[in-house]
């Protein structure tokens, strides 16, 4: 059995009484409810907690992706993973996960993960998700193509990691004339998904 | 009303038809086709043909239909499949957008065009509500100015199978998610519409701002406009009989 430490990085300072005036803590809750000076302290604390988990011997630390919400302050989990790549030493770094259908360029996700694989010394574990409904409002992506975009982006990323480049990828939602990852990932055949 | 199914190049289209007279093809609004007061009144003078837009109600959307542009070309194919001479094209909301997009592509088969609170142009003011961000009851209330009619509609929808409601929502999202209920370029092409055009809009429309009519009126030469005071987005239900009279008079006068 392995034990992993999963952080969701909530905005713990949310004024609940103010929040209750709005329909949801997602998408439409005004960002005036977010205090940057408190946010800076929260990021310091949360990244510190992930680093402590590494020092305490957890097998891995996990981050995830949510947008425009008090529920979590990690719209870009790869940024947290990048910080952890340098400041942690032994724990796996799990990005669970990137929401594939939300992006117009899945190759960039393949590139970022390949970079993280190098920067962490081959310690990353990747995860791919579709994202919950609110993400399709926040990212202005059509939810009715979510399944199609997920499977297509998933296929494209695995090919980008494993197939010799340059190659061409022509899908229904994603078309690339040149897929040629620099760097290729460290782990073989590719980082665990 | 009679229900039929037409094969349009391999896609089955369910249609309600009613009445006799010149043919009028009516493309429904965001909640699929229904035997509303508008269609009932139009059927007094026209052979009304009201298809389900693919993706709505019980019609699956073909894989290749990814946008209103595709739906517009499909509408022209549907008109071809219906055969014979010109017909009157009309649409409400999302259906009005598709009708306008069909008309900018070709008016060869059209005798006239009627657009009731059509989607399709980028609003200068933000809509009061987002159709996709409301619960079922809240969403119905936002459609109506007359909340007594909203009460009736809420009761009627409670009897509908849930999968039809969800299918209508998914069908609308497929065509109208981004930009919401609009096209960046439609306004630029509206000048191509060269058939008699009638436009009506509810002054209390919360879904698509009343002021959107100015863009259609500016770009479509000679279009006739009818403002509907105390009317929300649900024109066919709130003012169906009145608008049917106006449309009929307009079509008669345009001959």
Question: What distance in Å separates residue A172's CA from the closest CA in chain B?
Answer: 9
Question: What distance in Å separates residue A145's CA from the closest CA in chain B?
Answer: 8
Question: What distance in Å separates residue A54's CA from the closest CA in chain B?
Answer: 41
Once rounded to an integer, what is the mean pLDDT over residues B90-96?
A: 98
* Closest to A96 (Cα-Cα) out of A61, A70, A71, A72: A61
Question: What distance in Å separates residue A168's CA from the closest CA in chain B?
Answer: 22
> Domain span at residue B120?
2-254
Once rounded to an integer, what is the mean pLDDT over residues B226-249?
A: 98
pLDDT of A68 > 80? The answer is yes
How many domains are there within chain B?
1
All residues of chain A having their beta carbon less than 8 Å from the beta carbon of residue B173 are 142-144
Question: What distance in Å separates residue A28's CA from the closest CA in chain B?
Answer: 10
All residues of chain B having their beta carbon less than 8 Å from the beta carbon of residue A133 are none
Cross-chain Cβ contact A137/B170 below 8 Å: no
Scanning every residue of chain A, which has its alpha carbon at the shortest distance from the alpha carbon of B166? A144
pLDDT range class, residue B124, cuts 50, 70, 90: confident
CA distance B84 to A54: 75
Fold of A4-179: TIM Barrel (3.20.20)
Q: Which of A134, A142, A152, A172 to mutate to test the interface with B (most CBs of B within 10 A)?
A: A142
Note the pLDDT of residue A77.
Answer: 96
Once rounded to an integer, what is the mean pLDDT over residues B48-62?
A: 95
Scanning every residue of chain A, which has its alpha carbon at the shortest distance from the alpha carbon of B66? A145
* CATH number of residue B58's parent domain: 3.40.50.1820
pLDDT of B34 > 90? The answer is no
Q: Which residue would you say has higher pLDDT here, B127 or A169?
A: A169
The DSSP letter of residue A143 is G
Kindly state the percentage of chain B with pLDDT values over 90: 90
pLDDT in tens, B147-194: 999 999 999 989 989 899 899 999 999 999 999 999 999 999 999 999
Cross-chain Cβ contact B174/A27 below 8 Å: no
Scanning every residue of chain A, which has its alpha carbon at the shortest distance from the alpha carbon of B64? A172
All residues of chain B having their beta carbon less than 8 Å from the beta carbon of residue A141 are 177-178
pLDDT in tens, B208-223: 999 999 999 999 999 9
The residue ranges of every structural domain in chain A are 4-179
pLDDT in tens, B67-90: 999 999 999 999 999 997 899 999
pLDDT of B224 > 80? The answer is yes
- SS3 assignment for chain B: CEEEEEEECCEEEEEEEECCCCEEEEECCCCCCCCCHHHHHHCCCCEEEEECCCCCCCCCCCCCCCCHHHHHHHHHHHHHHHCCCCEEEEEECHHHHHHHHHHHHCCCCEEEEEEECCCECCCCCCCCCCHHHCCHHHHHHHHCCCHHHHHHHHHHHHCCCHHHHHHHHHHHHHHHCCCCCECCCHHHHHHHCCCCEEEEEECCCCCCCHHHHHHHHHHCCCCEEEEECCCCCCHHHHCHHHHHHHHHHHHHHHC
pLDDT in tens, B10-27: 999 999 999 999 999 999
Once rounded to an integer, what is the mean pLDDT over residues B218-245?
A: 98
Q: Name the interface residues of B facing A (CB cutoff 8 Å).
A: 66, 132-133, 170, 173-174, 177-178
Scanning every residue of chain B, which has its alpha carbon at the shortest distance from the alpha carbon of A144? B174
pLDDT of A13 > 70? The answer is yes
Note the pLDDT of residue B254.
Answer: 84
pLDDT of B255 > 80? The answer is no
Q: Name the interface residues of A facing B (CB cutoff 8 Å).
A: 27-28, 136-137, 140-145
pLDDT range class, residue A88, cuts 50, 70, 90: very high
Scanning every residue of chain B, which has its alpha carbon at the shortest distance from the alpha carbon of A173? B66
Q: Which of B178, B179, B180, B181 to mutate to test the interface with A (most CBs of A within 10 A)?
A: B178
Phi, psi angles (nearest 5°) of residue A165: -100, 170
* Closest to B62 (Cα-Cα) out of A172, A100, A102, A170: A172
pLDDT in tens, A32-44: 999 999 999 999 9
Cross-chain Cβ contact B177/A27 below 8 Å: no
Cross-chain Cβ contact A140/B170 below 8 Å: no
Q: Which two tokens stand for residue A150?
A: 């997920």
- H helix or E strand, kind and range, residue A113: helix A106-119
Note the pLDDT of residue B136.
Answer: 85
Cross-chain Cβ contact A140/B178 below 8 Å: yes
pLDDT of A133 > 80? The answer is yes
């Amino acid at each position: 059995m392995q034990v992993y430490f999963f952080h969701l990085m909530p905005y713990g300072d949310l004024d609940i009484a103010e929040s209750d005036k709005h329909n949801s803590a997602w998408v439409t809750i005004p960002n005036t409810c977010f205090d940057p000076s408190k946010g800076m302290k929260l990021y310091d604390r949360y990244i510190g907690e992930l680093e402590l988990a590494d020092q305490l011997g957890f097998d891995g630390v996990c981050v995830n992706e949510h947008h425009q919400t008090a529920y979590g302050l990690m719209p870009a989990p790869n940024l947290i993973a990048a910080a952890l790549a340098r400041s942690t030493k032994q724990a796996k770094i799990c990005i669970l996960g990137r929401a594939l259908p939300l992006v117009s360029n899945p190759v960039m996700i393949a590139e970022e993960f390949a970079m993280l694989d190098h920067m962490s010394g081959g310690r990353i574990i990747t995860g791919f998700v579709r994202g919950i409904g609110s993400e399709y409002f926040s990212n202005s992506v059509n939810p009715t193509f979510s399944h199609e975009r997920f499977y297509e982006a998933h296929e494209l990323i695995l090919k980008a990691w494993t197939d010799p480049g340059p190659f061409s990828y022509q899908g229904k939602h994603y078309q690339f004339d040149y897929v040629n990852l620099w760097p290729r990932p460290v782990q073989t055949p590719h980082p665990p998904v | 009303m009679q229900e039929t199914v037409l094969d349009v190049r391999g896609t089955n289209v369910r249609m309600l038809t009613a009445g006799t007279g010149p043919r009028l093809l009516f493309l429904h609004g965001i909640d699929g086709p229904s035997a509303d007061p508008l269609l009932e009144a139009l059927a007094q003078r026209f052979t009304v043909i009201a298809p389900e837009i693919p993706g709505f109600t019980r019609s699956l959307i073909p894989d290749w239909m990814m946008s209103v542009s595709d739906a517009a070309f499909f509408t022209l194919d549907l008109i071809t499949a219906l055969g014979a001479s010109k017909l009157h094209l009309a649409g409400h909301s999302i259906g009005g957008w598709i009708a306008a997009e069909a008309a900018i592509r070709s008016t060869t088969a059209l005798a006239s065009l009627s657009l009731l609170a059509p989607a399709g142009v980028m609003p200068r003011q933000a809509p009061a509500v987002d159709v996709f961000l409301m619960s079922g009851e809240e969403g119905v209330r936002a459609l109506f100015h007359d909340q007594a009619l909203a009460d009736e509609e809420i009761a009627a929808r409670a009897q509908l199978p849930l999968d039809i409601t969800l299918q209508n929502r998914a069908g609308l999202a497929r065509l109208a998610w981004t930009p919401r209920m609009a096209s960046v370029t439609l306004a630029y092409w509206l000048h191509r519409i060269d058939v008699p055009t009638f436009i009506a809009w509810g002054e209390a429309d919360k879904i698509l701002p009343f002021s959107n009519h100015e863009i259609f009126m500016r770009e479509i030469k000679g279009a006739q406009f009818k403002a509907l005071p105390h009317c929300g987005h649900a024109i066919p239900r709130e003012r169906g009989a009145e608008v049917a009279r106006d449309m009929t008079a307009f079509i008669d006068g345009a001959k």
